[in-house]
Amino acid sequence: MTDYLETEVRSYRFSRSKAVIPGLLFLGLGASLLLGATIGPYPLAPHKVVSLMAARIVGVIDPSPEATVLFNIRLPRVTAAALVGAALAGAGAAYQTIFRNPLVSPDILGVSADAGLGAALGILWSLPLIIIQLMGFVGGLMTVSLVVLVATMVRGRDDVLVMVLTGLALGALAGAGIAAVKVLADPERQLPAITFWLLGSLAGAKTNDVLLAGLPWLVGLSLLVLLRWRIGVMAMGEDEARALGIETKQLRVIVILSSTLITASAVSISGIIGWVGLMVPHMARLLVGARFDRLLPASVMLGAMFLILVDTAARSLASVEVPLGILTALLGAPVFIWLLSWGRPQWA
């Protein structure tokens, strides 16, 4: 009898939190967008931001300096931060779920580094952005495929560890490639761009870049959203997922392609930003639980919010802009160590 009551109380509490947490995330995302648009060397009051945007939506073109700052500098940058944060966190949640591995993310699997190598080559050869994106995607895809191949070959050992270590090795290889590109780069024009970009930055984010990266981002993320329920079942492992009715080979290919596509589109906007893809899904899991159909939207919103806030801090904390990758590493490395040591009982 008490068991029954307890169940009632619990499910009541759960049905409430199910609606409350996405609502809070949505509000938080809106608030951080507004905050990011407000803060900067030329401060804009929040109500000014809202009224300028309302005017623009109605179709009034305002030539004031405030409007120029908002629409040409602030908004592209905040949008880029949201896009990149959402992409890395969404890809991280998907990789973690289908590889059944809480320690993987786009950067740890080496996808970011290889997408970075592709992009660095693009800068070296002065290629157009769309080719840079394509090279990033192909580089990233080759890396995931290699990681999966190696992890399959050394099966029987600790899968989680093999995957992390293989990603590390391939990431190091990409690092060597990037170092070679740096040696070859023009030290006046190209080298500063490559270096700053490899540390991760949204300083160069322009409206056109965001629009160009937006399409692959939308395609990849839409596929993950559409397949969200089935992706979650993959966390049960190969045999169980198949016995539950999933064609695992097809699904795995689609999920890897989509996640790598959105990672590459993020890297083409911002360069390599580590740790977001690892850290944010774990934060989201604490909020909404392990179910992927809830985890994905929560990760995407939390990732966007997180990167807007970190980027706002990066450009306003000091008189010189701090590269984003440095800040995310400061936050992410301790989380990774915490996961390794204390987090294990939760997922092992």
Partner 1 sequence: MGLTHALIEAQGLAIGYHDRPLADGIDLTVNPGEVLVLLGPNGAGKTTLLRTVLGLLPPIAGSITLLGQDLSRLSRSAIARTVAMVPQSLAPPFSFTARDVVLMARTARLGPFASPGPTDERVVEDALARLGIPHLAERAVTELSGGQRQLVLIARALAQQAPALILDEPTASLDWGNRLRLLDVLERLAADGLGMILSTHEPDHATRLATTVMTIDAQGNVWQGSPAEALDLRRLAALYGLDPAQIDRRHQDRNQSISVARVPSSGTYP
| Sites of contact with partner 1 (CB under 8 A) | 3-4, 6-7, 10-11, 14, 96-97, 100-102, 160, 226-230, 232-233, 235-236, 239-240, 242-247, 285, 289-291, 293, 345-348
- By beta-carbon proximity to partner 1, the closer residue of 18 and 47 is 18
| Residue 99 Cβ vs partner 1, minimum distance, rounded to whole Å | 9
- By beta-carbon proximity to partner 1, the closer residue of 145 and 222 is 222
Distances in whole angstroms, Cα of residue 52 to Cα of each of 27, 67, 97, 305: 20, 7, 41, 22
| Residue 334 Cβ vs partner 1, minimum distance, rounded to whole Å | 21
> What are the residues facing 157 on neighbouring strands?
155
Write the DSSP assignment of 165-200 as a string of letters: HHHHHHHHHHHHHHHHHHHHS-TTTHHHHHHHHHT-
- By beta-carbon proximity to partner 1, the closer residue of 128 and 237 is 237
Amino acid identity of residue 118, one-letter, is G
| CA angle (314, 52, 308) in 5-degree steps | 20
Write the DSSP symbol of residue 63: -
- By beta-carbon proximity to partner 1, the closer residue of 74 and 228 is 228
- By beta-carbon proximity to partner 1, the closer residue of 28 and 289 is 289
Q: How far is CA 237 from the centre of its chain?
A: 24
| Residue 335 Cβ vs partner 1, minimum distance, rounded to whole Å | 16
Write the DSSP symbol of residue 155: B
Residue with tokens 């004031």: 64
Q: How far apart are CA 317 and CA 41, in angstroms?
A: 11
Distances in whole angstroms, Cα of residue 32 to Cα of each of 29, 38, 184: 5, 10, 40
| Residue 15 Cβ vs partner 1, minimum distance, rounded to whole Å | 11
Residue with tokens 């322009």: 206
| Residue 7 Cβ vs partner 1, minimum distance, rounded to whole Å | 5
Distances in whole angstroms, Cα of residue 27 to Cα of each of 63, 103, 105, 205, 345: 30, 29, 26, 25, 32
| Residue 282 Cβ vs partner 1, minimum distance, rounded to whole Å | 10
- By beta-carbon proximity to partner 1, the closer residue of 100 and 206 is 100
| CA angle (57, 59, 60) in 5-degree steps | 110
Residue with tokens 């590493």: 329
- By beta-carbon proximity to partner 1, the closer residue of 319 and 341 is 341
| Residue 242 Cβ vs partner 1, minimum distance, rounded to whole Å | 6
